[in-house]
């Protein structure tokens, strides 16, 4: 098999789609029947050693931190609302890569677009759709982003021979919204990186000390600060906990600043002033894994997820997890998380209090979570994706 990718998703700041692309590439390079892998960024082609260098660029995380705050982050957020910005960016990228895509198609490459909207391609193609939140909850996204996806997805879905969905829930969404036949959409779960694992107090001490935290002494949530992650209800629920619990277990919100979060920031302020909430923003991947394995409880009451990888990563880290009972999240946890109605502040608060006060329940969820997370591997994701390629090329 000869495979082609758009590597723009590997650019910093690298998002979940970027990590998905990287893990696929790492696994595909080990497949015996993969003859070669190539891709582009702008008009530049990456393959062989150049591709390996691109994947191993350790400066990406440092650059990502620069975009999480300050003037660059402000300008990037403002740019999301400029009419035509997404279409213009896509047009520029398509023009830059048009001739090379034409050449790869002639040479028999299968093109896999891992980031929703595929570039025009005359050869066989596959696309991954991670979620359809822009259709179910357009109010959670910048208007120009919704328009961009609404405009590009129908063409992309018509072009692709097979559509990969991150979950059976997302597969169902694709059927309901776009009417694709069952045989054209394949559900393939994501995997959990080996770096997400239980760690000891001693291993995590330096990272915890930098934030003034204690091992198993805080509630953690990790996500971009945006509306569909439901952080306002989480913060309100946490504020309902007895003060003794809030003093013992501060709430830590890890994630880059997002959009439409001015009300969230106002909600945070009283708890932050009381020393009961910490929002350090973006942290490195290494620090994140140490914080995740140190938390007393991981809270992720998201309103909508196409998969919900943070839940799987938390369970793999040996942390009892509170999650939502909607969209794909029950599919990910399979009963290994404490599920709540994400629209109920009272239910979220009750779940947090129960988990923080009941050590036997926490221990039970840790065992279940580790067992479930072990079933979600990137090796399985890569093998199932390779099977999709083989079916297209057969």
Q: What is the pLDDT of residues 278-319, one digit of tens each?
A: 999 888 889 999 999 999 999 999 999 999 999 999 999 999
pLDDT exceeds cutoff 50 at 157: yes
Per-residue pLDDT at 87: 63
Per-residue pLDDT at 390: 98
Alpha helices in 107-230 (DSSP H): 133-136, 143-159, 168-178, 201-211
Q: How far is CA 214 from CA 76, 185, 340, 358, in A?
A: 35, 45, 26, 19
Span 207-229, mean pLDDT? Answer: 91
Confidence of residue 339 (pLDDT cuts 50, 70, 90): very high
Q: Let me know how long the chain is.
A: 394
- Spatial contact of 352 and 319, defined as CB atoms under 8 Å apart: no
List the end-to-end C-alpha distance of the chain, in Å, as a whole number.
11
Confidence of residue 72 (pLDDT cuts 50, 70, 90): low
pLDDT exceeds cutoff 50 at 62: no
- The percent of residues above 90 in pLDDT, for the chain, comes to 76
Q: What is the pLDDT of residues 118-155, one digit of tens each?
A: 999 999 999 999 999 999 999 988 899 899 999 999 99
pLDDT exceeds cutoff 50 at 18: yes
pTM: 0.88
Domains located in the chain, CATH noted? 2-191+378-393 (3.40.50.2000), 201-373 (3.40.50.2000)
| Chain mean pLDDT for the chain | 90
Per-residue pLDDT at 204: 98
Per-residue pLDDT at 147: 94
Q: What is the pLDDT of residues 223-240, one digit of tens each?
A: 877 778 899 999 999 999
Per-residue pLDDT at 15: 75
pLDDT exceeds cutoff 50 at 61: no
Strands 338-340 and 321-324: parallel
């Amino acid at each position: 098999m000869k495979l082609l990718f758009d590597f723009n998703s590997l650019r910093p700041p690298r998002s979940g789609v970027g990590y998905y692309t990287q893990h696929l590439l790492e696994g595909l390079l080990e497949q015996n029947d993969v003859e070669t892998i190539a891709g582009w960024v702008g008009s530049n082609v990456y393959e062989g050693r150049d591709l390996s260098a691109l994947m191993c660029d350790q400066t990406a995380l440092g650059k990502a931190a620069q975009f999480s705050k300050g003037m660059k982050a402000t300008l990037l957020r403002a740019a999301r609302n400029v009419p035509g910005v997404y279409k213009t960016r896509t047009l520029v990228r398509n023009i830059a890569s048009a001739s090379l895509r034409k050449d790869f198609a002639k040479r028999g490459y299968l093109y896999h677009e891992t980031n929703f909207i595929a570039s025009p391609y005359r050869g066989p193609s596959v696309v991954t759709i991670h979620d359809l939140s822009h259709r179910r909850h357009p109010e959670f996204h910048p208007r120009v982003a919704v328009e961009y996806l609404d405009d590009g997805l129908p063409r992309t879905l018509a072009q692709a021979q097979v559509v990969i969905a991150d979950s059976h829930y997302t597969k169902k969404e694709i059927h309901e919204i776009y009417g694709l036949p069952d045989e054209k959409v394949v559900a393939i779960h994501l995997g959990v990186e080996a770096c997400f694992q239980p760690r000891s107090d001693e291993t995590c001490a330096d990272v915890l000390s930098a934030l003034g935290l204690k091992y198993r002494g805080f509630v953690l949530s990790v996500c971009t600060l945006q509306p569909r992650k439901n952080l306002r209800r989480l913060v309100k629920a946490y504020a309902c906990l007895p003060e003794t619990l809030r003093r013992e277990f501060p709430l830590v919100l890890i994630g880059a600043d997002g959009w439409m979060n001015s009300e969230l920031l106002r909600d945070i302020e009283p708890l932050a002033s009381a020393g009961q909430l910490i929002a350090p923003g973006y942290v490195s991947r290494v620090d994140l894994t140490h914080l995740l394995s140190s938390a007393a409880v991981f809270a992720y009451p998201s309103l909508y997820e196409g998969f919900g990888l943070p839940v799987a990563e938390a369970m793999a880290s040996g942390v009892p997890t509170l999650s939502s009972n909607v969209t794909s999240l029950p599919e990910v946890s399979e009963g290994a998380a404490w599920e709540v109605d994400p629209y109920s502040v009272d239910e979220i608060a009750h779940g947090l209090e129960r988990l923080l006060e009941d050590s036997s329940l926490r221990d039970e969820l840790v065992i279940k979570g580790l067992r479930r997370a072990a079933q979600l591997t990137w090796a399985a994701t890569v093998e199932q994706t390779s099977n999709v390629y083989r079916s297209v090329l057969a």
